[in-house]
Amino acid sequence: MKIILAQQNYHIGNFEANTARILSAIAEAKKQGGDLIVFSELAVCGYPPRDFLEFDDFVIESTTAIDKIRQAADTIGVLVGGPSVNPEKAGKNLFNSAYLLYNNEIQGIAHKTLLPNYDIFDEYRYFEPAFEWNILEFKGKRLAVTICEDIWDLVDDPIYRKHPMDELIKLRPDIMINLSASPFDYIHADGRKSTVKKNVLKYKLPMVYCNTVGSHTEIVFDGGSMVMNAQGDLVTEMPYFSEAIQSVTWENGDFYETVVCKSGEMPMVKLTPEKFEPGKNTSKIHQALILGIRDYFTKMGFTKAIIASSGGIDSAVVLALACEALDAGNVHALLLPSQFSTDHSVSDAVKLSENLDCKYDIIPIADVFGAFEKSLSPVFNDLPFNVAEENLQSRIRGAMVMALSNKFGYILLNTSNKSELATGYGTLYGDMAGGLGVIGDLYKQQVYELARFINREKEIIPCNIITKPPSAELRPGQKDSDSLPEYDILDPILYQYIERRQGPKELIEMGYEQALVTRILKMVNSNEYKRNQFCPIIRVSPKAFGIGRRMPIVGKYLT
């Protein structure tokens, strides 16, 4: 049996484009003499559809798309994901399903059992879990079809009471096939391979695992679909961060053809590293951010971006990423120096734009800031310069970049990093403005690692930007360390608290000073109101700010 894996980039709710993409892959699979083509989870509507599923028309469009695909499933079998209606009155209205189509008919449907309801996932809000399990038969073979999370609960402390494969294995299947929408984070790919291998070795069956690829606002899917034989060898692994079609031939219980790599003894890795590793998987983070920017613009119909370029590390990295993702001709850098900006910050920002061949403009804000000071002086009543004047500069810059955004149709890319967002080191309606947070899930040390990666072949980001002390330049001689602990101290504590959910007691037991822990956690928790007003962030970590981290704004705990 020749099995084709179709790793594709879908657009949520764009049924016409998604169906055309699926039909194109089916046509290609027929040319290759495929017997069965496998697509990913909820392929017809895109994942995650969220509250679109509450619209009857959306569900009708999904089933209509399945019907169009069924008509192409004549000489080839098709396994494709989509919602299906629950015929029972009790329970949720929908299942998250995999359809087996062949001979222009629906030959069978498998429903997802394990519905994740943690971090970025909210599937139990919409779907009913499967309550019965059946083998799907195709050309004399018995297929155990599961969907994404169904294979992920093989851990020492399971969060579900029932494992669908424990039920399916009783029905004597020949092969496991998993339709997935497994999102990227910088440790997840290793855990994904480990999970597939655990299933293979436990049930002594090969697995075909088809993942989606592409970005939907904050969530990036990295692909990496794979086939693993019953011995736990990785027969083929598909590309990361790009669409691909791959074929394997399954015969007499083994796979042949298109052997890409063998895994040997693949370790069962933990999903979360114990300590903060700022240089971990920088290459994949780079790919994820490029895909996140590109898909956000393509799927939203945007073409041009603007970035407030300060001569600092954060805006430099975002500008370089945007130029790579969108082409430099579609990116505009706006330099907005004040009387507190250093000459080298301006020259560094200019050099960066020249290196990238990116258009830039310089609009000094000193006169505008002076006009604000004059207007406010009767009310400020000669009080000393403080954070009010600092934030005023940031908000003037925000108004400037948004003015160009409105005038020329640019989308503002935000340049705040995770260390700043965590501690509230940013100005609402100023440097926190934007349509998409590009590096908002990277701690400051990771931003530096990414800058070095961008410079791996030649100097794109001027070295002075990377080596000089970071500063907001909102008052004379200002440095980030005036307001925050040094980043090599701050970032590991933030990582343990945010990603690993270690509280103050655990952090102090790790050797961190109590006063330092109290100070940092107070900054994080008292600035939740700021993050709730922030733009969507491209997610690359196991725990990003946004939909996957839901903290009360007025909570007292841990402060």
Whole-angstrom Cα distance, residue 71 to residue 76?
11
Whole-angstrom Cα distance, residue 228 to residue 143?
15
**Does 463 qualify as catalytic in the annotation?**
no
- Identify the H or E element spanning 200: helix 188-203
For residue 179, give the nearest of 190, 164, 169 by alpha carbon: 164
Residue type for position 364: P
Integer angstrom CA distances of residue 375 from 339, 368, 403: 18, 11, 21
Structure tokens belonging to residue 403: 């003015």
For residue 147, give the nearest of 100, 101, 189, 105 by alpha carbon: 100
Is residue 257 helix, strand or coil? coil
Catalytic residue among 148, 210, 323, 358: 148
Whole-angstrom Cα distance, residue 211 to residue 215?
13
* Tokens 């989870």, located at residue: 41
Q: What string of DSSP letters covers 487-520?
A: HHHHHHHHHHHHTS---HHHHHHTT--HHHHHHH
Catalytic residue among 2, 45, 112, 535: 112
Structure tokens belonging to residue 115: 């519905």
- Identify the H or E element spanning 332: strand 331-335
Catalytic residue among 41, 61, 128, 420: 41
Structure tokens belonging to residue 156: 């020492």
Structure tokens belonging to residue 45: 């509507």
Asked if 209 and 180 touch (Cβ cutoff 8 Å), the reply is yes
DSSP state of 150: G
* Tokens 């019965």, located at residue: 132
Q: How far is Cα of residue 3 from the mean position of the Cα atoms in its chain?
A: 29
Structure tokens belonging to residue 8: 């594709």
Whole-angstrom Cα distance, residue 277 to residue 346?
32
Whole-angstrom Cα distance, residue 223 to residue 239?
7
For residue 324, give the nearest of 355, 369, 367, 300 by alpha carbon: 355
**Does 270 qualify as catalytic in the annotation?**
no
Whole-angstrom Cα distance, residue 340 to residue 371?
16
Which residues, 6 or more positions from 436, have their beta carbon under 8 angstroms from its beta carbon? 217, 292, 293, 296, 411, 413, 414, 535, 536, 537, 538
**Does 112 qualify as catalytic in the annotation?**
yes
Q: How far is Cα of residue 123 from the mean position of the Cα atoms in its chain?
A: 17
What residues are annotated to the active site? Answer: 41, 112, 148
